[in-house]
A and B are shown apart, each in its own frame.
Chain A
Amino acid sequence: MKKSLFVCFILVALLASPLFAQGGGEASSPKIGFMGPMSGDYANYGVLSNNSTMLAVEQFNAKGGFGGKVPVVLVTEDSEGNVEKGLSAIEKLSSVDNIAGLVGPVFTGVSFAVGERVQSEGIVMISPSATHADITSIGDYVFRTVVSDGLQGEVAGNYFYGELGYRNIGVLYAKNDYSQGLYEGMTAAFEAAGGKVTIAESFQVGDKDFKTQLTKIRSEKPEAIYIPNYTAEMAQILEQATQLGMDIPFLSCDGFSNPEIYDLAGDFTDGVIYVGPAKVKESPAYSDFVAQYEAKFDVSPDSFATNAYDGANILLQAMDKVYKETGKFDRSAIRDAVAATKDYAGVSGTINFAENGDLVAYQGLYKVNGTTPEYLGSYTVVDGVLTQVD
């Protein structure tokens, strides 16, 4: 992992050297930062996303850079996925490197801490992967090119109430951030719409026997049961519900989009309606990106790396626009230009930012017929109203 860090520094040095040779001509070379875990247990995430940022920078410079003459320099900092390391990294990026914008951080925890810093320093930040609902509420300098966790719960609650017509539902969730977050998000939206969660039972991850919880839920007679969990637990729940002779429809989350559920639960999946990822249209831009990425780095990009590539390009495009208009790289003007991004055709799809800096994204709705999920449509929530987009 250290190796790629070296490669990156060398790249930085190579790109920077012609500028040093100029002996400080017109505008000094603008820098952008990347921050993510580049070493340690989580290095896989950081390295892949740093690769795509490097690729974006290289392609941008190959086209001539800002205004066709000023190349950009990328400075990569290692956070090790750790808040303290992340804070000292942003300190360096901000004061020593004087970056114009940041791609990253990769992790939610680090993003919370670094987000506070960039907000007070006035540096625009675009995270490719921090999914926690509250990340973008840090301030107006914080953006992301990944779907917020909050959206799924919101779409779920509104869809169950509005489209499926349920008024009281039960919930069976696991005691972990993922499951509990979805339960809370869905409940907030569902009850805001006018429905009621009449019973919410929980369990520990790894439990196999859910009959007690299901028996309790059954006696409350909810119209449907929401189970935002992982496949192993959901398979048990569906099977044991049948064993208890329960004839109540089940609703689920993106955890259900993993095909393993059909091996474990078989026919018990019939009729489940779940909120999953929106259908991705395989664009030529995406396959070009993957081909270039693989040719250069010998690995395939993950979805975070794809998001990082779009984030880096949006940042560079915004800087280019500001440079062309003013001849400078003013940080607040760059933020405004990022915020003004409209229908950007990225490799991960069309990108727009909501008022708060969240990616405007969609969730797909699916209904399982036998053991085959059928696509019902894609939805998003605009100002608290469920909107079908596909």
Chain B
Amino acid sequence: MGIAEFFQHLMNGLTLGGIYALIALGYTMVYGILKFINFAHGDILMAGAYIGLFVFDGLRGDAPLGTWTMIAFFLAMLISMGFSAILGMSIERIAYKPLRGATRLAPLLSAIGVSFILSNSAAWAFGTHSRKFNYPFDNTPVHIGDVVITPHQILILSVSLIMMIILKLFIDKTRMGKAMRATSLDQGTAMLMGINVNRVISMTFAIGSALAAVGGILIALDFKVYATMGTMTGLKAFVAAVVGGIGNISGAMFGGILLGLLETFGVAIFGIPTGLKDTIAFGVLILILLIKPEGLFGKVEKEKV
């Protein structure tokens, strides 16, 4: 393999990983606080992508690429984040909160149910065909020697990085972040200390879902918008979260990037047949569960993060 091909694979892997990482953040946040895997996360991502698509197309009209399309894209992203946050909070209220005292399996099954309801409703309302989400900017690739990078790839990487830093600062520095950490450590005690646990949990779902919407829109630019778009990406992001150590925010970011690189280089260097690309993620999942179940960045000592 030449140097150029290596760097091309590296670039492809990093962008793929950036997407996984962004979505993994949502899984990891909810798990960190509730010890519960929100399997509807991928479908919130899909809903966010649809909203983003409709708002963007509506705002853009026939305008040619330029400043206005960038503003429209930014607005679409904000509106979609808001909508997804509300959707995430409502789902929590309706389908998860009543089950908080039940066995741990109950909310998980409920989440799988919500996932099916969301994707089937989308298929019913918007049809099963893919819709194109047009780039709001000129996506002509940039050549650096023989390596090619698109503005979209740069956008994915930078947005993922910025989101992660903001999230990290939010959790470490703000009052709400402190409340989240407290709730994550011990819900009962947090409540006794005067923390509104219900509000904290709602907030967690709101932030996680807003991040999912951003991820959904960024993916949609490349992979189109369709009713089941959240399923496979959601599963892979979940694997990324587990690999990094579920409940750990830097771990999710790292796990995502690692998974993207493994998928790309597994095929390119280790000669795994391209038809088996998807099995890499799940193979890694099994390996991690067998060898280091707490994940690469997870802490072993306590049961709560």
Interface of A with B (CB < 8 Å)? 175, 201-204, 206-209, 211-213, 215-216, 218-219, 232, 235-236, 239-240, 242-245, 260, 263-264, 266
| Chain A residue with Cβ nearest B219 | A208
Q: How many Å from the CB of B81 to the closest CB on chain A?
A: 23
15 A/B residue pairs, CB under 8 Å, sorted by A: A208-B223, A211-B16, A211-B264, A212-B267, A215-B5, A215-B12, A216-B5, A235-B132, A243-B148, A243-B150, A243-B152, A244-B8, A244-B148, A245-B141, A245-B148
Q: For residues 263 through 281 of chain B, which have their beta carbon under 8 Å from a beta carbon of chain A? A: 263-264, 267-268, 273-275, 277-278
Residue among A206, A212, A242, A260 making CB contact with B12, cutoff 8 Å: A212
Q: Is the CB of A243 within 8 A of B141?
A: yes
| Chain A residue with Cβ nearest B1 | A219
Contact status of A202 and B222, CB under 8 A, knowing A244-B141, A264-B132:
no
| Most chain A beta carbons < 10 A, residue from B16, B141, B148, B232 | B148
Contact with A along B2-14 (1 / 0, CB 8 A): 1001001100100
Residue among B9, B232, B275 making CB contact with A206, cutoff 8 Å: B232
Contact status of A235 and B275, CB under 8 A, knowing A244-B141, A245-B148:
no
Q: Is the CB of A203 within 8 A of B223?
A: no
Contact status of A236 and B223, CB under 8 A, knowing A215-B8, A219-B2:
yes
- Chain A residues near B132 (CB, 8 Å)? 235, 263-264, 266
- Chain B residues near A211 (CB, 8 Å)? 12, 16, 264
Q: How many Å from the CB of B61 to the closest CB on chain A?
A: 17
Q: Is the CB of B130 within 8 A of A232?
A: yes
| Chain A residue with Cβ nearest B16 | A209
Q: Is the CB of A204 within 8 A of B275?
A: yes
B302 interface contact, C-beta 8 A: no
Q: Is the CB of A202 within 8 A of B263?
A: no
Q: How many Å from the CB of A6 to the closest CB on chain B?
A: 34
CA distance A232 to B1 in the complex (A): 30
CA distance A209 to B16 in the complex (A): 8
Contact status of A245 and B224, CB under 8 A, knowing A201-B274, A264-B130:
no
Q: How many A-B residue pairs have CB under 8 A?
A: 74
Residue among B16, B129, B222, B275 making CB contact with A175, cutoff 8 Å: B275
CA distance A202 to B132 in the complex (A): 24
CA distance A212 to B143 in the complex (A): 17
Q: How many Å from the CB of B57 to the closest CB on chain A?
A: 13
- Chain B residues near A242 (CB, 8 Å)? 141
Q: For residues 129 through 159 of chain B, which have their beta carbon under 8 Å from a beta carbon of chain A? A: 129-130, 132, 139, 141, 143, 148, 150, 152
Q: Is the CB of A203 within 8 A of B16?
A: no
- Chain A residues near B129 (CB, 8 Å)? 260
Residue among B8, B9, B224, B267 making CB contact with A235, cutoff 8 Å: B224
Contact status of A207 and B277, CB under 8 A, knowing A219-B1, A243-B139:
yes
CA distance A208 to B267 in the complex (A): 16
Q: Is the CB of B224 within 8 A of A203?
A: no
Residue among B5, B9, B141, B275 making CB contact with A202, cutoff 8 Å: B275
CA distance A239 to B69 in the complex (A): 20
Q: How many Å from the CB of A195 to the closest CB on chain B?
A: 22
Q: How many Å from the CB of A202 to the closest CB on chain B?
A: 4
Q: Is the CB of B268 within 8 A of A215?
A: yes
| Chain A residue with Cβ nearest B226 | A232
Contact with A along B218-241 (1 / 0, CB 8 A): 000011100000001000000000
| Chain B residue with Cβ nearest A219 | B5
Q: How many Å from the CB of B70 to the closest CB on chain A?
A: 19
Contact status of A212 and B139, CB under 8 A, knowing A206-B232, A264-B224:
no
10 other contacts beyond A213-B267, A236-B224, A243-B141, with CB at 8 A cut-off?
A: A175-B275, A202-B273, A213-B274, A215-B5, A215-B12, A216-B274, A232-B130, A232-B224, A239-B222, A264-B224
Q: Is the CB of B268 within 8 A of A212?
A: yes
- Chain A residues near B2 (CB, 8 Å)? 219
- Chain B residues near A212 (CB, 8 Å)? 9, 12, 263-264, 267-268, 274, 277
Q: How many Å from the CB of B175 to the closest CB on chain A?
A: 40
